[in-house]
Amino acid sequence: MKTISIDKSYGGTQGVYVSRSEACDCDMTFAVFVPPQAAEGKRPVLWYLSGLTCTHANVMDKGEYRRLAAELGLIIVCPDTSPRGDHVPDEPDNWQFGKGAGFYVDATEPPFSANYRMYSYVTDELPRLLAAEFPADMDRQGIFGHSMGGHGAITIALKNPDRFRSCSAFAPISHASVSGWSKPALRKYLGADEKTWRAYDACSLIEDGHRFAELFVDQGTADSFLEDGLRPDELRQACEAAGIPLKLRMQEGYGHSYFFISTFMEDHLRWHAQRLGK
């Protein structure tokens, strides 16, 4: 692991790091905020997964999480959204696929299967590195994210309910196998058999029997991607049918940007901290 930068913030440290990823076969950059309480012992971990076109830096620069994370004693981990490098296959003119659009899946279709293994990177490789290099209490983990990252957070939590104590999302892609945003990407990453897509679709995972204790979702009513891309009502219906408690707040007049995310970041951090502190 190589340190790119470390800056003191609210008594803690905001670091940016790079390490070689076996899962993605490239160097991967990630950010970690360590609160001041880590000087006294291991702290709970909250993973933040970003959305389409983003890197580790978007939430780090615009998410406004450090003040409260320092107060609550939370480690915040911000991975990148895809593999990077000249050798990584890409569609440069397609912002919904390729670099910046890994969708947190393990691709099975060549040539993407060689690098686009973001599920394994986020759930296995990066956690092992975090546990080895940072004062992280891996028995107290939560996960949240935005848009594509909200999709990633919910699907990962549903498949790993024993690992994560909490899960929330800002404007998640709730039904990835039918969403206009994600369906073309899943076809390229996973192949034509749509049954295989269900493993990376929140609504489908719930329909197939996966469960999580409770979910918390904020969604802006003025989000231009609400109807086709995000489909929160379908997540609501799936949770109701499965008996999963879902706190879905429709925030009047808010869009899809970090103006929306930063406004409600405090609510999400406090919600996670209550569950990670138990």
Catalytic residue among 147, 166, 174, 204: 147
pTM over 0.85: yes
pLDDT at 67 over 70: yes
Q: Among 204, 222, 84, which Cα is nearest to 154's?
A: 204
Amino acid at 176: A
Q: Which domain holds residue 157?
A: 1-275
Split at pLDDT 50, 70, 90, the class of 278 is low
Residue 181: the pLDDT is 86
Q: Is 223 a catalytic residue?
A: yes
Catalytic residue among 50, 174, 223, 268: 223
Per residue in 152-180, pLDDT (tens digit) is 999 999 999 999 999 999 999 999 999 98
pLDDT at 187 over 60: yes
Q: What CATH number does the domain containing 244 carry? A: 3.40.50.1820
Per residue in 228-249, pLDDT (tens digit) is 899 999 999 999 999 999 999 9
Using CA atoms, how far apart are residues 114 and 149, in angstroms rounded to an integer?
Answer: 21
Q: Burial of 248 by CB count in 10 Å (0-12 exposed, 13-18 middle, 19+ buried)?
A: middle
Residue 217: the pLDDT is 98
Query: What does residue 98 show for φ and ψ, rounded to 5 degrees?
Result: 85, -145
Using CA atoms, how far apart are residues 257 and 51, in angstroms rounded to an integer?
Answer: 10
**Domain total in the chain:** 1
Catalytic residue among 56, 151, 210, 256: 256
Q: Is 147 a catalytic residue?
A: yes
Location of structure tokens 């004693």: 73
Per residue in 12-52, pLDDT (tens digit) is 999 999 999 999 999 999 999 999 999 999 999 999 999 99
